């Protein structure tokens, strides 16, 4: 088939962060672009992920702020919380963002098909309505989906997809998993006054993050009332006649709960996508294997975002989608650099990090030097809270180059973004020391470590 015979230059399956960015950039280069989305424009991050979850975090923070208000001279009477008000406000904002993303595609001349699409061949997609469309290039950006374990009664549980639609605030909630999704929702529900129990198959939380920060978060959240049950995943969930759930874990007595949230990871959403029609075999985790330019073994088909199981972060998917569009229709082809990606967990308190953890640095470089600042944020001191922040600089012992920055405490994600630039630029501990502190602030601890 000649190039001019294709219906589109680029057909994108999935209108999440990566797919929308690729569509917009490709269209700006003059390509004829269409995108298919079976649910809503915006994808996981906007519809059922980081954006609505961060809004819940904001909402839950008021519990602490209102408690501390008296120390600042405020009298707050009749304080109460209404879950329905917060939930509905969050969902309205999701509607707003869905409309904005849709408008972005429309403004850039991208045609939208609001139905499921699968791959029919190297240059063809098939819509669920039966129509087959040809495309010079196809981009798969369908993201990932929550993983559900196979225990009895799992049908009574919810995932991070459904948690935003809870009809009422659960008085007691059990959360299985100890990754960032589990820890963020544990903090939200704990702050809103729920009894929270976190159960996990291992004895660690937030595997992959710096050990000192993980330990500090565990201590603080336990002091706040979150109960942990390690080395005992859920074996069974039984729904009682009164509507409550009996959660059986290991050798412990069953836990009674009003809701059970499964947050044990996400899997690339590749089932039934038709990739075999283009000769593409999936990886061990169901991911689409791609090269450094997000190209599959089928030259006309690319994949970006969580469906590739590289780095499951929205900004990464956006960069990948942008790079694919530039490479196919722009002036240059460039691979995405995955080094020095800053990450954050919006737990309570939040933690953030960039670069190598202390353990990773020792393994890779051997001779390192670690600087820390263990302090009580001024706000906590004034409010009588004993929780302490912890900042850590991991440096090369000989060159002084900062290999990693890790922190836990109020506003850590906001502070880390600027620190990530320094790590990316290869600055040294001496560069940090030579920078005048911004006082009084928590961020000044980054340049005062000796």
Q: What is the 3 state secondary structure string of 316-353?
A: HHHHHHHHHHHHHHCCCCCCCCCCCCCEEECCCCCEEE
**Per-residue confidence (pLDDT) for residue 4, from 0 to 100:** 60
Distance CA 308, CA 201 (A): 26
pLDDT tens for 78-104 read 889 999 999 999 999 999 999 999 999
* Cβ neighbours for 348, distance < 8 A, ≥ 6 positions apart: 57, 60, 61, 64, 187, 188, 190, 191, 221, 224
Q: What angle do CA 65, 53, 213 make, to 5 degrees?
A: 70
Whether the link from the prior residue into 293 is cis, omega within 30° of 0, is no
* Cβ neighbours for 35, distance < 8 A, ≥ 6 positions apart: 11, 12, 13, 14, 15, 19, 20, 23, 105, 110, 111, 112, 113
Burial letters 99-127, b for 16+ CB under 10 A, else e: eebbeebeeeebbbbeebbbbbbbbbbbb
At 396, is the secondary structure helix, strand, or coil? strand
Q: How far is CA 236 from the centre of its chain?
A: 28
Distance CA 79, CA 70 (A): 13
Annotation says 439 is catalytic: yes
**Per-residue confidence (pLDDT) for residue 116, from 0 to 100:** 96
Q: How far is CA 340 from the centre of its chain?
A: 17
User: pTM of the full predicted structure?
Assistant: 0.95
**Per-residue confidence (pLDDT) for residue 450, from 0 to 100:** 85
Set out the domains of the chain in order of their start, with CATH numbers. 3-145+267-329 (3.50.50.60), 154-264 (3.50.50.60), 349-447 (3.30.390.30)
Q: Which of 163, 329, 323, 187 is nearest to 259 (CA)?
A: 163
pLDDT tens for 169-194 read 999 999 999 999 999 999 999 999 99
Whether the link from the prior residue into 349 is cis, omega within 30° of 0, is yes
**Per-residue confidence (pLDDT) for residue 1, from 0 to 100:** 40
Distance CA 278, CA 382 (A): 63
DSSP letter assigned to residue 176:
E
**Per-residue confidence (pLDDT) for residue 398, from 0 to 100:** 96
- Which segments in the chain show pLDDT lower than 50? 1-3
């Amino acid at each position: 088939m000649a190039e001019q015979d294709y219906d589109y230059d680029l057909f994108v399956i999935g209108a999440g962060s990566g797919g929308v960015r690729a569509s917009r950039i490709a269209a700006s280069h003059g390509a004829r672009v269409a995108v298919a989305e079976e649910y809503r424009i915006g994808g996981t991050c906007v519809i059922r992920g980081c954006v609505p979850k961060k809004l819940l975090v904001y909402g839950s923070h008021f519990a602490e702020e209102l408690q501390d208000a008296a120390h600042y001279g405020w009298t707050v009477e009749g304080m109460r919380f209404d879950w329905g008000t917060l939930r509905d406000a969050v969902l309205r904002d999701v509607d707003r963002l869905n409309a904005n993303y849709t408008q972005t595609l429309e403004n850039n001349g991208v045609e939208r098909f609001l139905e499921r699409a699968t791959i029919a061949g190297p240059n063809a997609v098939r819509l669920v309505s039966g129509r087959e469309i040809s495309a010079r290039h196809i981009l798969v950006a369908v993201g990932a989906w929550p993983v559900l374990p196979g225990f009895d009664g799992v049908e009574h549980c919810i995932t991070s997809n459904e948690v935003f639609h809870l009809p009422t605030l659960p008085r007691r909630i059990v959360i299985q998993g100890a990754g960032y999704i589990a820890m963020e929702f544990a903090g939200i529900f704990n702050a809103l006054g729920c009894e929270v129990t976190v159960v996990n198959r291992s004895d660690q939380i937030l595997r992959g993050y710096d050990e000192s920060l993980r330990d500090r978060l565990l201590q603080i959240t336990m002091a706040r009332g979150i109960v942990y049950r390690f080395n005992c995943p859920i074996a069974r969930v039984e729904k009682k006649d009164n509507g409550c759930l009996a959660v059986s874990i290991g050798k412990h007595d069953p836990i009674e709960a009003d809701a059970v949230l499964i947050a044990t990871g996400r899997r690339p959403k590749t089932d039934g996508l038709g990739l075999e029609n283009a000769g593409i075999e999936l990886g061990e985790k169901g991911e689409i294997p791609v090269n450094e330019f997000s190209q599959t073994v089928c030259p006309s088909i690319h994949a970006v975002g969580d469906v590739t199981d590289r780095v499951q972060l929205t900004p990464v998917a956006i960069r990948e989608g942008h790079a694919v569009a530039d490479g196919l229709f722009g002036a240059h082809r460039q691979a995405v650099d995955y080094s020095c990606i800053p990450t954050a967990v919006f737990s309570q308190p939040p933690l953030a990090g960039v670069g190598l953890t202390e353990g990773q640095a020792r393994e890779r470089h051997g001779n390192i030097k670690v600087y820390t600042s263990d302090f009580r944020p001024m706000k906590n001191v004034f409010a009588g809270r004993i929780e302490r922040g912890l900042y850590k600089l991991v440096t090369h012992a000989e060159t002084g180059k900062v290999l990693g920055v890790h922190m836990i405490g109020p506003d850590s994600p906001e502070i880390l973004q600027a620190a990530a630039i320094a790590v990316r630029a290869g600055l040294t501990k001496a560069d940090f020391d030579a920078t005048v502190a911004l006082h009084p602030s928590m961020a000044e601890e980054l340049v005062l470590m000796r």
